[in-house]
Amino acid sequence: MPKSFSILLLVMIACLSCKKEEPSKSPVIELVEITPLSLVQYNEPVYITIGYTDLDGDIGYESPDEYALQIKDNRLTDPDWYHVPPLSPVGSNVAIDGNLTITINSLFLLGNGSQELTSFTIKIKDRADNWSEEITTPQVTIRDSL
């Protein structure tokens, strides 16, 4: 009997010590696509598509003066900020997922060379100020001319 009691006690301790992991309140993003990977300066935009998931659906703001998306051209020190409209009705508290495509117009060379490489670091925040993890795109080549 003591041996079976010990086994039962170990099983109970193991079950009670397991905690259910809380789902993340932060949005989750992933890179879906970036095109083109090579371009002539001033001639064509870069399109970055990110996938997003948010368990409480509070990504985006009604006011165009509030920014939720941060994109940093890694040749520069400061990021650019973008407005994202609400991706679900405000106050609905529903899980959402989908894709966002961001258009970055008119990349140009910063130096004197005939080409430069850059990548973009992206993150998004929800209305509760929870930030996603950062993602970084593959490098894009910016050329002076064809």
Q: Which CATH number does the domain housing residue 110 bear?
A: 2.60.40.2550
User: Which element (helix H / strand E) includes 12?
Assistant: helix 2-17
Provide the pairing of β-strand 46-54 with 96-104.
Answer: antiparallel
Question: For the residues 61-79, what does the mean pLDDT come to?
Answer: 97
Q: Report yes or no on 17 lying in a domain.
A: no
Q: Indicate the pTM of the whole model.
A: 0.82
| Residue 11 within a domain | no
d(CA 17, CA 14): 5
Alpha carbon distance 130, 102 (integer Å): 21
Query: What proportion of the chain, given as a percentage, has pLDDT over 70?
Result: 84
pLDDT at 118 over 70: yes
Asked if pLDDT for residue 20 goes beyond 80, the answer is no
Strand-pairing partners, residue 40, are 143
123 domain-assigned: yes
Residue 18, in any domain of the structure: no
Is residue 28 predicted with pLDDT exceeding 60? yes
The predicted structure's pLDDT at residue 6: 62
List the strands of the sheet with 38-40, edge to edge. 38-40, 140-143, 115-118
**Lowest-pLDDT range, 7-11, 64-68, 96-100?**
7-11
Number of domains in the chain: 1
Per the domain annotation, does 90 fall within a domain?
yes
pLDDT recorded at residue 90 = 86
Q: Quick check: is 4 in a domain? A: no
What does the mean pLDDT of the chain come to?
90
Specify if 3 maps to a domain. no
Does 12 reside within a domain?
A: no
Which range of residues forms the domain containing residue 121? 23-143
